[in-house]
Amino acid sequence: MPNRSLFSEKNILLFVSLFAIQLTFAQKTFREAYVQLTENDTLFGEIDNKSYYQNSHYCDFRIGEGDSVERYFPAEIYAYHFVDGKFYISKEVLVNGKEEKLFLEFLLDGELDIYFYQDKGRQGHYFVGRDSLPLKELRYVKDIIDQDGKMMQVVRKPYTGILSYYTSDAPQLEDQIQNINQPTHKKMIRFGESYHNMVCKDEECIIYEKRMPWAIIVEASVQNTHYRKKLIGDENIWPFVGVNAYFMNPRFSEKGFFGIGVLKMLDPPESMDFISSFKIPISYSYIHPKNGFSPTIRGSFNIFPNFDYPTTISFTPGIKYEMGNFYLRAFADMEIVFFGEKRLYYLSTSYGLGLNYKISSR
């Protein structure tokens, strides 16, 4: 059992620095787009596609690669639009009792306009508006109440009254309003399109929301793991082979991937009875989607089939070279473990290579 509960300050500083640098670099994904300074004044170039929350608060624009980046806020421009992608328009709205000017994602432009915003806690907010009526949020609320000593969940749908009022010239939609339950992109676009087609025969509505991108990455990896000598003895370097699958999480960020895999130590030593030679990492990664060199960062919980062994945590910065659907990833991994009394111990450091194949909608 190890007798050391903390990393050295040097190791902590080095790893935190690597983590911060990698995560900062991973934020830049410029795509072909344009900015509307006013409704009729447009600049064409590239915009950094960030998370839903960041996209709603600012827009980083440049004319082309190598040019300076200009940051625009909702109070400064009319809208911005990714070519063949999302359309954000500046609107003043009331969110959680606070008035804010935000870039709302424009989902549908018709007799009933539909917008979307995701807050910092990844909670989605839908808004509707009409030419003669103000923007209103479609609130869907889940409350926990105490009823006769039992905790129960109660669902409230105050948005039904708003939709009924805003579409009062199409009362035949009332049943559809009551059946929406929790609003989603698909449900709201379908409803808005149905309403538009009922009350406007002259032109079609415009659906700006695009099909969500998806990507799956499969990785085969090899790595050398250096265990602390106090734990395993002088012969403390052991090879692992592994397979991982990563799944894009586009509702939060197109650079975010959930992952699951298996890692197996080759020819484990008899003396290594403190931890299993077979583990299942469950991870979340930031993976930059561009060709050429770019950084990666991954955090994971490592679960062992034999639950007598403690769960470990790994942090894995790396760099990849991507060409088409294939990329090669070189990485370093630091693994830590909890041993009794919630004490944290350094367990191992690994260096490895992974060969990846990506399947995506792009």
- Last residue within a domain, chosen from 149, 175, 207: 207
Q: Specify if 10 maps to a domain.
A: no
**For residue 69, what pLDDT is reported?**
93
**For residue 203, what pLDDT is reported?**
87
Domain match, 194 and 87 both:
yes
Q: Specify if 198 maps to a domain.
A: yes
**For residue 62, what pLDDT is reported?**
95
DSSP for 51-101? -HHHHHH-EEEESSTTSPPEEE-TTT-SEEEETTS-EEEEEEEEETTEEEE
CA 133 vs CA 136, 164, 198, 268, 289: distances in Å: 9, 13, 19, 70, 41
- Last residue within a domain, chosen from 192, 207, 222: 207
Domain match, 273 and 352 both:
yes
Domain containing residue 354: CATH number = 2.40.160.20
**For residue 10, what pLDDT is reported?**
43
Domain match, 356 and 217 both:
yes
Nearest Cα residue to 155 out of 133, 138, 140, 136:
140
Domain match, 186 and 328 both:
no
Domain match, 302 and 190 both:
no
Q: Quickly list H helices, the chain.
A: 9-25, 52-57, 159-166, 174-178, 185-199, 229-232
**For residue 13, what pLDDT is reported?**
42
Domain match, 173 and 234 both:
no
Q: Specify if 129 maps to a domain.
A: yes
Q: Specify if 332 maps to a domain.
A: yes
- Last residue within a domain, chosen from 207, 229, 260: 207
Domain match, 285 and 183 both:
no
Please give the tally of structural domains in the chain.
2
Is residue 328 within 8 Å of 220, Cβ to Cβ? Answer: no
**For residue 254, what pLDDT is reported?**
75
What is the residue-level pLDDT of the chain in tens, covering all 362 positions? 444 444 453 455 455 545 545 554 545 678 899 999 999 999 999 999 888 889 999 999 999 888 999 999 999 999 999 988 899 999 999 877 788 899 999 999 999 999 999 988 888 899 999 988 899 999 888 877 777 777 787 888 899 999 999 999 999 999 999 999 899 998 999 999 999 999 988 888 888 876 667 889 999 999 988 876 665 555 567 899 999 999 987 766 778 899 999 999 887 766 666 667 788 999 999 887 778 888 888 989 988 876 666 778 888 888 899 988 899 999 888 888 765 555 566 677 888 999 999 988 76
Domain match, 43 and 186 both:
yes
Domain match, 162 and 276 both:
no
CA 83 vs CA 33, 49, 88, 299, 341: distances in Å: 5, 12, 12, 32, 54
Contacts of 167 (CB under 8 A, 6+ apart): 112, 173, 177, 195
Q: Specify if 4 maps to a domain.
A: no
Domain match, 245 and 336 both:
yes
Range of the domain at 223: 213-360
**For residue 19, what pLDDT is reported?**
56
**Positive or negative, the Cα torsion across 268, 273, 279, 283?**
negative
Domain match, 251 and 106 both:
no
Q: Specify if 9 maps to a domain.
A: no
Domain match, 101 and 71 both:
yes
Q: Specify if 7 maps to a domain.
A: no
Quote the tokens at residue 200: 């406007």
**For residue 25, what pLDDT is reported?**
53
**For residue 49, what pLDDT is reported?**
86
**For residue 338, what pLDDT is reported?**
67
Q: Specify if 1 maps to a domain.
A: no
**For residue 5, what pLDDT is reported?**
40
